[in-house]
C-alpha cells in the first residue's frame, strides 16, 4: 500500500514556467467550475482558480478517458502531474482510486485542490506544491504508481521532458497506464520507447491518448 508522506509546503521561488500563471492577475480572483462525472461524488461541481495557463481537461475528454480506464482505477495509486484544477485526480478518487498525488508549482492551484479535497472529505489525496520536473528528479524507487495523468502546458517541450523524467524516476510500476494530452500529434513525439499507445483520439486542437509502460529492463529468462 502506498505510504502517505507529509504534504509539502510551498516555498518562495518554487514557481516555474510550467504553471504559466500570473498570480497577481485580476483573473486569479475569479473562479471556474469542473464537474465530477461519476463515482461517489457524481455531478458535484468544484471551483478552481481562473488564472492564465490553467487548462482543465474538458468534460467530454475526461469521460472518454475514464471509460477507457474502467476497472483499472479501483484501489489504484495515481499521480496527477501538472495537476492544475485537479480534475483528473479528483475523478479518479471519486471512482475508487486508493491514492492520488497532485503535483503543481502554482500555489493558487495547489491551495484550490487542498480546499476541494477538504470539501469532499476525501481520503487518499496528497498535494505537492513544487515544480513537477524537479519533484520527479528527487524521487527514488520503489515504483509506486500504476496510473499517471500527464497534461502539462502545451507551450514548449514539457510533455516530452516530463515523460522522459517520469520514466527515469523509478516511480512507475510495470504495465502502468499513462494519460497524455498535447497540442500536437502524440505519435510524432519522442516519448519513451517502452510506452506503447493503447488508445488515441483528437478533440478539436487537443490530441490525447492512453499509453501503457512495458518493463524497460532485460526480459526474465
Write down the residue that cell numbers 461541481 correspond to: 45
Q: What is the pLDDT of residues 123-146, one digit of tens each?
A: 999 999 999 999 999 999 999 999
Residue 220 has pLDDT above 80, yes or no: no
70 vs 171 pLDDT, higher one: 171
Give mean pLDDT, residues 196-215. Answer: 96
Least confident of 27-41, 142-156, 167-181: 27-41
Q: What is the pTM of this model?
A: 0.83
The pLDDT score that the predictor gives to residue 111 is 95
What's the total number of domains in the chain? 1
Give mean pLDDT, residues 174-197. Answer: 97
CA distance 36 to 39: 8
Asked if the structure places residue 14 within a domain, the reply is no
Segments forming the whole domain that contains residue 48:
26-213
The pLDDT score that the predictor gives to residue 32 is 87
Asked if the structure places residue 48 within a domain, the reply is yes
Asked if the structure places residue 16 within a domain, the reply is no
Write down the residue that cell numbers 528527487 correspond to: 138
Asked if the structure places residue 182 within a domain, the reply is yes
Least confident of 3-7, 43-47, 167-171, 196-200: 3-7
Asked if the structure places residue 120 within a domain, the reply is yes
User: Which residues, other chains included, contact 18 with Cβ-Cβ below 8 Å and sequence gap of 6+?
Assistant: 82, 105, 131, 132, 133, 152, 153, 158
Asked if the structure places residue 38 within a domain, the reply is yes
Bridge partners for 201 per DSSP: 208
Residue 219 has pLDDT above 90, yes or no: no
Residue 203 has pLDDT above 60, yes or no: yes
Asked if the structure places residue 54 within a domain, the reply is yes
Percent of the chain scoring above 70 in pLDDT: 82
Angle among Cα 73, 74, 75 to the nearest 5 degrees reads 110
Asked if the structure places residue 62 within a domain, the reply is yes
CA distance 64 to 18: 26
Q: What is the pLDDT of residues 85-110, one digit of tens each?
A: 999 999 999 999 999 999 999 999 99
Q: What is the pLDDT of residues 26-73, one digit of tens each?
A: 344 446 889 999 999 999 999 998 766 677 888 999 999 999 998 899
CA distance 131 to 12: 12
The pLDDT score that the predictor gives to residue 71 is 84
CA distance 39 to 174: 27
Closest by CA position to 64, among listed 102, 96, 38: 38
Write down the residue that cell numbers 488515441 correspond to: 200
Percent of the chain scoring above 90 in pLDDT: 74
Which CATH number covers residue 35?
Answer: 3.40.50.150
Amino acid at each position: 500500500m502506498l505510504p502517505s508522506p507529509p504534504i509539502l509546503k510551498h516555498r518562495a521561488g518554487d514557481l516555474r514556467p510550467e504553471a504559466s500563471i500570473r498570480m497577481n492577475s485580476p483573473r486569479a480572483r475569479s473562479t471556474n467550475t469542473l464537474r465530477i462525472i461519476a463515482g461517489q461524488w457524481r455531478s458535484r461541481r468544484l471551483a478552481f482558480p481562473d488564472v492564465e495557463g490553467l487548462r482543465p481537461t474538458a468534460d467530454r475528454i475526461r469521460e472518454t478517458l475514464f471509460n477507457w480506464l474502467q476497472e483499472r482505477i479501483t484501489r489504484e495509486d495515481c499521480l496527477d502531474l501538472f495537476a492544475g484544477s485537479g480534475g483528473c485526480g479528483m475523478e479518479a478518487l471519486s471512482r475508487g482510486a486508493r491514492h492520488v498525488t497532485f503535483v503543481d508549482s502554482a500555489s493558487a492551484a495547489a491551495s484550490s485542490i487542498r480546499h476541494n479535497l477538504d470539501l469532499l472529505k476525501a481520503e487518499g489525496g496528497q498535494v505537492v506544491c513544487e515544480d513537477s520536473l524537479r519533484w520527479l528528479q528527487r524521487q527514488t524507487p520503489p515504483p509506486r504508481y500504476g496510473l499517471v495523468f500527464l497534461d502539462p502546458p502545451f507551450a514548449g517541450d514539457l510533455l516530452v521532458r516530463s515523460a522522459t523524467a517520469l520514466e527515469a524516476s523509478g516511480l512507475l510500476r510495470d504495465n502502468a497506464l499513462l494519460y497524455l494530452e498535447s497540442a500536437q500529434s502524440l505519435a510524432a513525439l519522442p516519448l519513451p520507447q517502452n510506452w506503447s499507445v493503447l488508445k488515441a483520439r483528437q478533440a478539436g486542437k487537443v490530441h490525447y491518448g492512453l499509453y501503457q509502460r512495458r518493463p524497460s529492463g532485460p526480459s526474465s529468462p
